[in-house]
């Protein structure tokens, strides 16, 4: 099988998207539309659970939202005026159907379904403890520990049990839960993964990104605040703050790559931030050239920002085919030598004889950059200068993003000069970490005001660049002690 995503396979991948809708006709159909807009956050599996006042209904399947939720009989079977949904890659747990969310359990307090974006960084430790106390797990997903913690909590009400459960959990979680009483949406105390709230008539919506509100014509109300827990029920909308205040550390990579450019993340337009990163790059590492060329599609806004700041013309020097599926069965061994370029191709008539600035969002393994530079040279470019709209990715993510282990990250293995040599460019430069924060409207990483007494904590999680992980990494540290993992170089 030939993968036809040569540029996407060498990216960090967001692992999940969540959606919830409370109090609307055919809630499952609305959830399916919302999930469709979040498909870029997870393409391996999708699921929806609804509640119709009498019982819960669930459909979970491997594959895309379209194809699984475009059939009338499936939507009709998901009866009710409330529903939650999930799209996923596998962060933890194998990609078996039993791990596809929403997960559901009948608890002493009634039915409970949960959809989770993020990763619980002490899930293995909690699982061992729960197993020792008699819990029997149905999946290998980290999310299931939340259900068992709720089930075994000593508190009486479901809400108190849920809050008690979350107080045992470390890491990143944006959760949307469906119960017989109402819907609960919650973001971890640092707000690492995004979650927004919207309104559609009388209905309340929760989603990982605002694009899921746009697609159903809902109005964006606000982001769920880090550490906030919102309950929507017949009593209305209640906001709770069950955790000790902490300086929020939302994922900065949402702005670089994960979120769709038409989304608003924590109040900032992703498209505007990406253009500002490109302008920072142009100021920090300008070079004489004839054209600014984006690596499509994710490099486009930053390349526009670079071109506008530098005055160098923006051109589409790489053309992407939009008619290629995720994978393609290679039509026989005899074409293996052709170096098939189904997804992206050089716009040779434009590139020939030109000095290019190629703009991409990140370098992960580096295999993609190497291929693109080679493609540009074969198309007749006289110079190829690579500019990257994020700092070097040197560390793995433990918060719900699929990163290769550190040894596979090009920037963890070599410095920028060696990386340049590896990819075969004339020059290579990354935006600085301060430049990235400036693009978000801040003076720099460590130069903002005092919040919660933590003067030096940056305003975002940027651990994949800095190694400064904002939470404990209990499972990683446990594995490290057993000699199973290479150590993390923590940020000094």
Least distance to ligand SF4 from the beta carbon of 403, Å?
Answer: 7
Least distance to ligand SF4 from the beta carbon of 427, Å?
Answer: 26
Task: Tell me which H or E stretch contains 378.
Answer: helix 367-378
DSSP 99: G
Query: Per CB under 6 A, which region of 17-25, 92-100, 144-152, 460-468 contacts ligand SF4?
Result: 460-468
Query: Per CB under 6 A, which region of 177-185, 263-271, 422-430, 462-470 contacts ligand SF4?
Result: 462-470
- d(CA 210, CA 205) in angstroms, rounded, equals 10
16, 397, 461, 464: the active-site residue: 16
- d(CA 199, CA 213) in angstroms, rounded, equals 8
Least distance to ligand SF4 from the beta carbon of 253, Å?
Answer: 4
397 is catalytic: no
Per CB under 6 A, 270 contacts ligand SF4: no
How many beta carbons lie within 10 A of that of residue 288, not counting itself?
10
Cβ 5 vs Cβ 328: under 8 Å: no
SS3 of residue 488 by DSSP: coil
Least distance to ligand SF4 from the beta carbon of 73, Å?
Answer: 39
Residue 419's nearest CA partner among 411, 409, 430 is 411
Q: What per-residue string of b and e applies to 64-95 under the rule 16 or more CB within 10 Å gives b?
A: bbeebbeeeebbeebbbbbbbbbbbbbbbbee
Least distance to ligand SF4 from the beta carbon of 19, Å?
Answer: 20
Q: What count of Cα atoms within 13 Å lies in the side-chain half-sphere of residue 42?
A: 31
Nearer Cβ to ligand SF4 (182/392): 392
Per CB under 6 A, 436 contacts ligand SF4: no
Cβ contacts of 481-486, under 8 Å, gap ≥ 24: 485/405, 486/405, 486/406, 486/407
Q: Is the peptide bond before 384 cis (omega within 30 degrees of 0)?
A: no
- d(CA 215, CA 212) in angstroms, rounded, equals 5
Q: What per-residue string of b and e applies to 244-273 under the rule 16 or more CB within 10 Å gives b?
A: eebbbbbbbbbbbbbbbbebbbbebbbbbb
Per CB under 6 A, 16 contacts ligand SF4: no
Cβ 135 vs Cβ 100: under 8 Å: no
Q: Spell out, one character per residue from 347 to 366, where the chain touches ligand SF4: x when CB under 6 A holds, - when not.
A: --------------------
Rule CB under 6 A: which of 229-258 touch ligand SF4?
A: 251-253
Query: Per CB under 6 A, which region of 204-212, 272-280, 383-391, 455-463 contacts ligand SF4?
Result: 455-463
Rule CB under 6 A: which of 395-414 touch ligand SF4?
A: 397, 399, 401
Query: Per CB under 6 A, which region of 180-188, 234-242, 331-339, 393-401 contacts ligand SF4?
Result: 393-401
Residue 162's nearest CA partner among 249, 216, 86, 240 is 240
Per CB under 6 A, 462 contacts ligand SF4: yes
Least distance to ligand SF4 from the beta carbon of 12, Å?
Answer: 6
Nearer Cβ to ligand SF4 (199/394): 394
- d(CA 406, CA 11) in angstroms, rounded, equals 14
Per CB under 6 A, 30 contacts ligand SF4: no
35, 270, 461, 473: which one binds ligand SF4 (CB under 6 A): 461
Rule CB under 6 A: which of 113-142 touch ligand SF4?
A: none
DSSP 236: E
Cβ 143 vs Cβ 197: under 8 Å: no
Per CB under 6 A, 146 contacts ligand SF4: no
- d(CA 417, CA 420) in angstroms, rounded, equals 5
Query: Per CB under 6 A, which region of 72-80, 83-91, 148-156, 456-464 contacts ligand SF4?
Result: 456-464
DSSP 254: I
Per CB under 6 A, 197 contacts ligand SF4: no
Per CB under 6 A, 431 contacts ligand SF4: no
Least distance to ligand SF4 from the beta carbon of 476, Å?
Answer: 12
Map tokens 């200068």 to a residue.
Answer: 385
Per CB under 6 A, 388 contacts ligand SF4: no
Nearer Cβ to ligand SF4 (18/461): 461
Least distance to ligand SF4 from the beta carbon of 58, Å?
Answer: 29
Least distance to ligand SF4 from the beta carbon of 461, Å?
Answer: 3
65, 145, 190, 192: which one binds ligand SF4 (CB under 6 A): 192
Residue 170: C-alpha distances to residues 115, 195, 376, 473 (Å): 17, 18, 45, 8
Map tokens 């004489």 to a residue.
Answer: 288
Query: Active-site residues: which are they?
Result: 16
The residues binding ligand SF4 (CB under 6 A) are 12, 192, 251-253, 397, 399, 401, 461-464
């Amino acid at each position: 099988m030939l993968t036809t995503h040569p540029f996407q396979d060498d990216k960090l991948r967001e692992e999940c998207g969540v959606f919830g809708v409370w109090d609307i006709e055919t809630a499952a159909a609305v959830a399916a539309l919302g999930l469709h807009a979040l498909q870029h956050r997870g393409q391996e599996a999708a699921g929806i659970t609804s509640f119709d006042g009498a019982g819960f209904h669930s459909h979970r399947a491997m594959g895309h939202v379209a194809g699984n939720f475009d059939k009338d009989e499936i939507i009709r079977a998901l009866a009710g005026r409330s529903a939650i949904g999930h799209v996923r890659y596998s962060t933890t747990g194998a990609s078996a159907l039993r791990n596809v969310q929403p997960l559901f359990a009948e608890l002493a307090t009634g039915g409970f379904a949960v959809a989770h974006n993020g990763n619980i960084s002490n899930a293995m430790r909690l699982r061992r403890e729960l197993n020792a106390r008699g819990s029997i797990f149905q999946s290998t997903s980290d999310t299931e520990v939340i259900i068992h913690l709720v089930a075994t909590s000593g508190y009486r009400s479901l809400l108190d049990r849920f809050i008690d459960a979350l107080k045992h959990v470390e890491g990143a979680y944006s959760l949307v839960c469906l119960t017989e009483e109402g819907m609960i949406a919650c973001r971890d105390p640092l707000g690492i993964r995004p979650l927004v709230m919207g309104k559609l008539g009388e209905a309340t919506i929760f989603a990982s990104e605002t694009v899921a509100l746009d697609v159903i014509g809902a109005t964006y109300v606000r982001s769920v605040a880090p550490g906030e827990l919102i309950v929507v029920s017949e009593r209305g909308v209640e906001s709770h703050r069950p955790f000790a205040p902490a300086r929020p550390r939302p994922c900065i990579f949402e702005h670089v790559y994960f979120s769709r450019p038409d989304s608003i993340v924590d109040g900032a337009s992703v498209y505007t931030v990406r253009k500002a990163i490109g302008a920072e790059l142009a100021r920090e590492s300008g070079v004489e050239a004839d054209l600014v060329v984006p690596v499509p599609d994710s490099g486009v806004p930053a390349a526009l920002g670079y071109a506008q700041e530098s005055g160098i013309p923006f051109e589409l020097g790489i053309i992407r085919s939009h008619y290629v599926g995720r994978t393609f069965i290679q039509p026989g061994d005899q074409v293996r030598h052709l170096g098939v370029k189904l997804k992206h191709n050089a716009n040779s008539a434009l590139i020939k004889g030109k000095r290019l600035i190629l703009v991409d969002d990140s370098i992960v393994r580096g295999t993609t950059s190497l291929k693109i530079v080679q493609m540009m040279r074969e198309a007749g470019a006289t110079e190829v200068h690579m500019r990257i709209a994020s700092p070097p990715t040197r560390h793995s993510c433990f918060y719900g993003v699929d990163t290769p282990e550190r040894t596979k990250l090009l920037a963890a293995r070599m410095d920028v000069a060696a990386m340049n040599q590896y990819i075969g460019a004339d020059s290579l430069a990354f935006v600085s970490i301060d430049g990235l924060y400036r693009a978000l409207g801040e003076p720099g990483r460590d130069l903002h005001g005092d919040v919660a007494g933590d003067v030096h904590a940056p305003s975002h999680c940027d651990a994949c660049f800095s190694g400064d992980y904002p939470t404990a990494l209990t499972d990683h540290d446990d594995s490290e002690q057993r000699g199973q993992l290479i150590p993390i170089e923590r940020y000094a």
